[in-house]
Structure 1
């Protein structure tokens, strides 16, 4: 009985935490700014309070906005070998059939990838340029000059250069499952659009996690199979699909207050560190994001404390 009372008290504290965040500093939606603020003003208004915002002119000087299309890519990097993630359903790094499944990675020429983008039914599976190891600087160096990857503004805001710069080119069926990153993220859409479903870190206690055996996809005789990793590693991952959450199984998730924002070509989303996000996109969307390592300061300490307490409550 005593333990039950303590647990109920903690859950009330969690509810109060989320409610106060919404009332005291979080916006009801994601604001869109026509002009990017000076670095210090941006840091004070958005980075320090950990609030997302869309910038309409951050990429105004990028040549990529008017150069990057299939014709240009074919002419300039058509024969370049790049890494492409392939899945049967568009879900990479996601929970499927009780496993945390990573994509099959293939090396192919940009021309081959673009052929599939232009005729999605011409190949088995969903193809997505999404390798998150600074693939723009590692694989797409030829077109790096078309974007400002070392933004002086970003360096002043975050006090450092980007830790990684990633290129994303995707099929409209490709979906990024709900997760969080330990990065300050400037996510710029060059063509098409991306729709982000966001949940603030203050809703952390209501986001359910489970542990899943790690696996990867492999195409065998024209069919995709899930192959468990030989090491038998377990991966903690979010247990709900925010587009159709199973609140009967995870009732606490109903306390979350997701916010949706669509980022269009020429816009940049500042996605603060530790915000949960789920991403959909238009077909053949092209985007570039800059990851800046977050500050592991007192806010992170409090975040980890709340996470630890939430895990204890779930176990009991």
Structure 2
């Protein structure tokens, strides 16, 4: 078991040495073939400056423009009491309340003109830009040509995200090549390479019982949590409620461990507790007109 621990730690250290302590910048969109060779193939993230500086959206997408163009459109909006979507609360893994409201109402809430009793975040995926706000597609390219050429396919989804600083996405992994382009404001990311997976206490979000983690003081609690969804009461407060349907049979919980000893899923006799020794790789800020390319890394935004 000691050799397993040492090899996993060594693998993580080598990955961090290979990736470096910061995400590299490119000053312009790359040649597709070279981009595939230097970044997609090696599975390395990068930030590309001026990648979308020619999009009209960078100059057009003000709150006033969005109100005039699509303010009356009703879209899907996530609402949480604290800005944390898909996160642990007590003994539950709580997902946001999804509400239908006009984009103008969302902007009013973000500007403090209207109260909703929680944090709003336009974060619905499944190509919500094309499905809910197709009027905005003329202000940008429907795909990034050099990336589509490098991958040999068009994007599976084009999403529109709108939120304030308190809106946070929990740590997760997407099984796609991801491109994040900031049109207005800035976005902060935390990236971890796949070799750090044994040190991250994560579970299978597709299971009706969700394994997750939550910090309690100086200890990290890992266990099995019942799914729940936030629901706003008549007095404006938000409570987590179980989804409608039969309650799944309980599963045994995972015992708590110290904050620097994180366990792998599954059998505890296969891989012993591991100590996190590698520094985290982070993108502190992604600014206007910059584009982040991310390849299957664990990330938090």
User: So what's the TM-score if we normalise by structure 2?
Assistant: 0.82
Q: CA deviation at 1:106?
A: 0.7
Where does residue 247 of structure 1 map in the other structure? Answer: 259
- Judged with a 3 Å threshold, the aligned counterparts in structure 2 of structure 1 residues 48 and 120 are, in CA distance, closer, same or farther, namely farther
Matched, 1:270 2:290: no
Tell me which of 217, 233, 241 is aligned to 1:227: 241
Distance 1:253 1:199, change over 3 A: farther
**Which secondary structure state, in structure 2, belongs to the residue aligned with residue 116 of structure 1?**
helix
Higher helix content, 1 or 2: 1
Superposed displacement of residue 133, structure 1: 1.3
Partner of 2:143: 150
* 1:171-182 equivalence runs, <5 A: 171-182=164-175
Paired residue secondary structure (1:60): coil
Partner of 1:113: 106
Q: Deviations over 1:160-198 (max 9, x none)?
A: 110111000002111111111101001000000001011
Query: In structure 2, do the counterparts of structure 1 residues 157 and 147 end up closer, same or farther at CA, with 3 Å as the change threshold?
Result: same
Q: Tell me which residue corresponds to 2:215.
A: none
- Of 7, 10, 17, the residue aligned with 2:11 is 17
The Cα RMSD (Å) is 2.0
Distance 1:233 1:59 in 2: 46
Q: Could you tell me which residue of structure 2 aligns to residue 260 of structure 1?
A: 282
Q: Secondary structure at the match of 1:115?
A: helix
Gaps of 5+ in 2: 204-210, 212-224, 263-272
Give 5+ residue unaligned stretches, structure 1: 1-6, 240-244, 280-316
TM-score (norm 1): 0.78
Q: Map of 1:23-42 to 2, 5 A cutoff?
A: 23=17, 25-42=18-35
Q: Could you tell me how far apart the structure 2 residues matched to 1:100 and 1:182 are? A: 21
| Residue 211 (structure 2) pairs with residue 218 (structure 1) | no
Q: Say if 2:55 and 2:140, in contact at 8 Å, map to a contact too.
A: yes
CA distance in 2, matches of 1:43, 1:118: 41
